[in-house]
Structure 1
Amino acid sequence: MLVREAMTSPVVTVSPDATVRQAIRVLYEHNITAAPVVDDSGAMVGIVSEMDLLRGEFAADPRAFARPVAGPHEPPPRLVRDVMITDVRTAQPTTDVAELAEMMMRTAIKSVPVLDGDTLVGMVSRRDLMAVLARGDARIRDDVLSALAELMPGGHDWTAEVTDGVVRLSGPAGDENARHIAETIARTVPGVTRVLLEEPA
């Protein structure tokens, strides 16, 4: 499965000149945890997350302490450009989702912008990956059979059973090339985690 099949598009973005409070409202209203920062020319110049925006926004409440608490020595940053991350990990639309998921788990990154060349075309979050895996087995089975019927000769001769995203394919005997093609097609269907080829009877 490719990133373009899991990404969210169009992308919610913020300007580097937006205030921190404006960016907080954008993330909150769109129920997202991060947004690419895009300048007036449309180029992505960074990314800003909930944690970047929350840093320094809350003053200590004196009711929570036995003795007076000193206020911050400096005011918190006011613009997105002051808090955004400029060293951004990105993906391409043709990146393998499995590769991207592994990188996100290894680095604890929650959201990754998707670039086609220099153009921002999508965003992949952990929630997007969860949505793919949450697809029901019956829907995955129907999608696998539809893809086989559409993309390969004799595709209607194949059957599929799906359990927790694992597809068991069964088809005509004697054609190893066709079996390989069927397995490859099934693996491209969103929600498929593994494909097993059953031996023909």
Structure 2
Amino acid sequence: MNGTPALVNDVMTHRVVALRPGAGFKDIVQVMHEWRVSALPVLDDAGHVVGVVSEADLLPEEEYGDGDIGRNGQVRHPAEVRKADAVTAAELMTAPALTVAPDATLAHAARLMARTRVKRLPVVGRDGLLRGVVSRSDLLKVFLRHDDDIAEEVRREIVVRLFGPYTAAIRVEVHDGVVTLAGRVCQTALITLAARLARAVPGVVDVHCALSGPPRRRDRAAGLPTSGAGATTP
């Protein structure tokens, strides 16, 4: 990953299937079944993403097929019942579509999915055209990264850049995605920064930081003069 944050483009599925607004209900279900996906983007004639049809959009057809009439004869969930009458992608889809850019970080995509409680996001370029789809499982691919690869990036992009000629005194180990940093550094103020940067490396699960600053000089004996006659040196 060349020392740069992992981006959506690195992990997304590039070959995807999409719907036209006029796609029928049964056709949508069939495509979802064949492609084993839970949501499908809807494209206009120009290829722009105009909405998304998910399993949640299809369920009202089954859930409210009887109109969901209450005891007093009123429809209890009118919005859902109206959706139960929908038969095309244009009528079923959630619009506008929630999308993410190819150059968005995985952290951004993950936060967006968590906040909106969706499992898949269409990936859309600056031109509004569909580039791919990123799913929750795609975001987890980064954790398949080899430990040696992670350790090399931590050494090259963090340890060397922060501590320069003092890197020989710093040990970097990675086991199952957990990074351990140990040794003495020249500037104690950089320890917290090193741990935070290591945590942001793609594929890192956790960071154990055992770095410490340079040894402190022995304090001068209390009560002895620091200069002139009778002065002592450590």
Deviations 1:114-147 (A, max 9, x none): 22212322222223234444x3xxx431221354
Question: What is the CA-CA distance between 1:47 and the residue it aligns to?
Answer: 0.6
Unaligned residue ranges in structure 2 (runs of 5+): 1-5, 66-80, 162-166, 214-234
Distance in 1 between the 2:84 and 2:196 partners? Answer: 58
The answer to whether the aligner puts 1:101 opposite 2:110 as a matched pair is yes
Letter paired with 1:86: A
Partner of residue 144 from structure 1, selected from 133, 142, 150: 150
Distance in 2 between the 1:113 and 1:171 partners? Answer: 45
The structure that has the greater radius of gyration is 2
Query: Partner of 1:99: helix, strand, or coil?
Result: helix
Q: Is the 8 A contact 1:15 1:38 kept in 2?
A: yes
Query: Which residue of structure 2 lines up, in the alignment, with residue 166 of structure 1?
Result: 178
Normalised by the size of structure 1, how large is the TM-score? Answer: 0.69
Query: Partner of 2:133: helix, strand, or coil?
Result: strand
Question: What is the CA-CA distance between 1:22 and the residue it aligns to?
Answer: 1.2
Query: Which residue of structure 2 lines up, in the alignment, with residue 40 of structure 1?
Result: 45
The answer to whether the aligner puts 1:122 opposite 2:132 as a matched pair is yes
Deviations 1:29-54 (A, max 9, x none): 11111111112211111111012134
Query: Which residue of structure 2 lines up, in the alignment, with residue 66 of structure 1?
Result: none
Query: Partner of 1:48: helix, strand, or coil?
Result: strand
85-94 or 73-82, larger mean C-alpha shift: 73-82
Question: What is the CA-CA distance between 1:174 and the residue it aligns to?
Answer: 4.2
After TM superposition, list the pairs within 5 Å mapping 1:13-52 onto structure 2.
13-52=18-57
Query: Partner of 2:27: helix, strand, or coil?
Result: helix
Percent identity of equivalent pairs: 31
Distance in 2 between the 1:74 and 1:8 partners? Answer: 29
Using CA pairs under 8 Å that are at least 6 residues apart, name the structure with larger relative contact order, 1 or 2: 1
Distance in 2 between the 1:171 and 1:74 partners? Answer: 62
Query: Which residue of structure 2 lines up, in the alignment, with residue 68 of structure 1?
Result: none
Letter paired with 2:32: L
Letter paired with 2:27: Q
Classify 1:185/1:42 alpha carbon distance in 2 versus 1 (closer, same or farther; 3 Å).
farther
Distance in 1 between the 2:149 and 2:199 partners? Answer: 9
Unaligned residue ranges in structure 1 (runs of 5+): 61-71
CA RMSD of aligned residues (A): 3.9
Query: Partner of 2:175: helix, strand, or coil?
Result: strand
Letter paired with 2:29: I
The answer to whether the aligner puts 1:79 opposite 2:92 as a matched pair is no
